[in-house]
Structure 1
Amino acid sequence: MRILAAGDHFVAPDLLTRELTAEIGTDHSIEELRLPWPLTPFGRVAEVDEASGDEDTMLTALRGAEVCVTQMAPVTRKILEGAPDLRLVVIGRGGPVNVNLDAAKEHGVQVCNTPGRNAAATAEYTLGLMLAAMRRIPETSAALAAGRWAGEFYTYDNCGPGIDGSTVGLIGCGAVGSRVARALTALGAQVLLYDPYADQRVLRESGEPVADLDDLLRRSDVVSLHARLTPETRGLLGARELALLPEGAVVVNCARGALLDEEALCDALESGRLAAAGLDVFAVEPPPPGSRLRTAPRLVMTPHLAGANTSVAHNAARIAAAEVGRFLRGEPLAHRVI
């Protein structure tokens, strides 16, 4: 069987090949392709989102392949129509947004993903970004690097709030949100949880379930987003919702940029209503040169790194390879989307 390992500069092609070989042996042909992400930002390719590479390159690479293992390659209708031998696509990420699922179904191609591969990394990063924004770590580090011992950051008005004793509202309580909740509880926070799709038992185990989003916002010193981006959640936090937060609240987003109205966030930061914010994701990535985010006060920004550590790359390759092994042995797929 011919397998295409379409890696990138994070989940590298040779890493995919090593995990595939460990799972299925050396009796199959594995061809490698390296995509430009993340050195080149992902984007929309034809009708799919968050993809890296182009259709013509993929059509050439998939010639004769029955299996494709990738994280970021576009799997569009054109590609599926031009790869008649393709039977399985395994996407090394939590959601197969770079696959045209309708077209895959029409062509009899099974699609799997690798849920949970970066849950721990994203949860850790969320806490780091939350603390960086609350305790003004980047600002104080920059001052010291510039040769200034910024004693004013030790004054009451400038030193920032802490997690211990605060109320933190989490919007979304899946694999990432539940981990963040446990860590925050250990640090002494009261954790409120809003997730209309989660099991109530899971919510109760992770914190205090809140049935109404407005109620959570009114009670939260810090709000962190952990929801999936859907038509219902797009723009979930806008000007009205941010105005419900207590004066001096903090907003953190390591989920998806479009969950948050960035113009409304900038307004709230510039007016002083929000004490700080931390963003790892953006509606447009990277933010364009004229974006107000680049000059907003007390805003910590990082370039979509929450899910990136070395363990995540290995997790994605290992989970994907296991799915290929199941497919070759005729076993049920563990993470089949279609």
Structure 2
Amino acid sequence: MTTVLAAGDGFVAPELFVDAVREAAPERELTFRTLRTGWPVEPFGPVGEVHEASGTEEELLAALGDARIAVTQMAPFTRRVIEASPDLKLISVCRGGPVNVDISAATKAGVAVSFAPGRNAAAAAEFAVGMILAALRRIPGSDAELKAGNWRGDYYAYDNAGLELDGATAGLVGYGAIGARVARVLRAFGARVLVYDPYTDQAKAAVDGVELVELADLLRSSSVVSLHARLTPETTRLLNADNLALLPQGAALVNTARGGLLDYAPLPELLRSGRLGALALDVYDVEPPPPDWPLHDAPNVITTPHLGGATKQTAHRAAGIVAADVARFLRGERPAHLANPEVLDAGAAS
């Protein structure tokens, strides 16, 4: 009998994990422990040395017991938790990257760590396109004005009118699964799409009908810029005061990827000066933003509370991806999405 901990939360519930693992491995005798952390009602944050985690080390240790496998989204698998769980052999995280796991500690302890790339690509791409349209056409602001009793006919005046995607130049910073989906939609609207991504080659860009350019060229040419890069030391504050000044007057900027990609300090002045015509944000340098955050009262800003991946399909897809890797592990096969493949020699899982 193999014990599995299903450490879910308010988005991917423990029961969703349990059902997905049972469906993926119907032939195995499994017993389940469950834990539900407070996310998303309670914001995630650092726990110990890991980032973007929910819950405490103490409650996770109490739930783990003798579990050999853990499936989770946000639970904090810190060095302390891993070292205190000698029975644990696999942690499967249903996120695009296992940022809530101390990979070094897991590797040292012989614990394989798998993750779920692409789980929210469709949801995040659709949300980004929605934010782009909302920013270009002032949809949330005009809705709020009308509900407040203000008929803003002046929004139809030429100086206040929005922009179409048809014939516009859109710049995408990052061209992974999400960026590529966004590009397809923008091209269907009739936009010319520029891409900055050092890891994408010209051949792929040509097939997809997008143009690979340097970041400075993208910023100079794009009436709307949308961020889709991963956050790494190299991409931290990739967009900053110096290069944001290259944007055409009145450009729109959309960040639905990671707050750390963008330097938020220059944004209020860029909005007030009109260099930025609109700003749409789903992610922030501090989440949630504090009450005195300067962008709360800056003009033409759309803000949402990190909802890009929030669809029911994403939750089911995420649970299914990790459950498939759990089933592989139980059959003695290598999981498909390993963060530390060196832990498992060929045929080592059992």
| Aligned counterpart, 1:256 | 258
Deviates most, 278-287 or 17-26? 17-26
The alpha-carbon deviation at position 9 of structure 1 amounts to: 0.2
| Aligned counterpart, 1:5 | 6
2:274 & 2:292 partners in 1: Cα distance? 21
1:301-320 counterparts in 2 under 5 A?
301-320=303-322
Give SS of 1:176's match.
helix
Give SS of 2:160's match.
coil
| Aligned counterpart, 1:20 | 21
Query: Residue 205 of structure 2 contacts residue 212 of structure 2 at CA under 8 Å; is this kept in 1?
Result: no
Counterpart residue type for residue 240 of structure 1: D
The alpha-carbon deviation at position 143 of structure 1 amounts to: 1.5
The alpha-carbon deviation at position 225 of structure 1 amounts to: 0.5
Counterpart residue type for residue 102 of structure 1: S
Counterpart residue type for residue 148 of structure 1: N
Query: Residue 170 of structure 1 contacts residue 226 of structure 1 at CA under 8 Å; is this kept in 2?
Result: yes
How many pairs were matched up? 338
- 188, 191, 194: which one aligns with 1:189: 191
TM-score (norm 2): 0.95
2:5 & 2:305 partners in 1: Cα distance? 29
The alpha-carbon deviation at position 303 of structure 1 amounts to: 0.4
Counterpart residue type for residue 10 of structure 2: H
Query: Residue 3 of structure 2 contacts residue 66 of structure 2 at CA under 8 Å; is this kept in 1?
Result: yes
The alpha-carbon deviation at position 159 of structure 1 amounts to: 2.2
2:191 & 2:255 partners in 1: Cα distance? 18
1:59 & 1:335 partners in 2: Cα distance? 25
1:54-65 counterparts in 2 under 5 A?
54-65=56-67
- 253, 268, 271: which one aligns with 1:269: 271
Deviations 1:56-109 (A, max 9, x none): 111111110000000001110000011110000000010111110000000000
Query: Residue 173 of structure 1 contacts residue 203 of structure 1 at CA under 8 Å; is this kept in 2?
Result: no
- 94, 97, 114: which one aligns with 1:92: 94
- 150, 158, 168: which one aligns with 1:156: 158
CA RMSD, 1 decimal: 1.0
1:280-319 counterparts in 2 under 5 A?
280-319=282-321
Pair 1:233 & 2:235 matched: yes
Deviates most, 41-50 or 190-199? 190-199
1:204 & 1:195 partners in 2: Cα distance? 14
Unpaired segments of 5 or more residues in structure 2? Answer: 341-350
Give SS of 2:70's match.
strand
Query: Residue 52 of structure 1 contacts residue 73 of structure 1 at CA under 8 Å; is this kept in 2?
Result: yes
1:207 & 1:304 partners in 2: Cα distance? 30
Give SS of 2:338's match.
coil
Deviations 1:157-180 (A, max 9, x none): 222111111100101100000000
2:101 & 2:281 partners in 1: Cα distance? 26
Q: Percent identity?
A: 55
Give SS of 1:307's match.
coil
Query: Residue 192 of structure 1 contacts residue 207 of structure 1 at CA under 8 Å; is this kept in 2?
Result: no
Query: Residue 6 of structure 2 contacts residue 70 of structure 2 at CA under 8 Å; is this kept in 1?
Result: yes
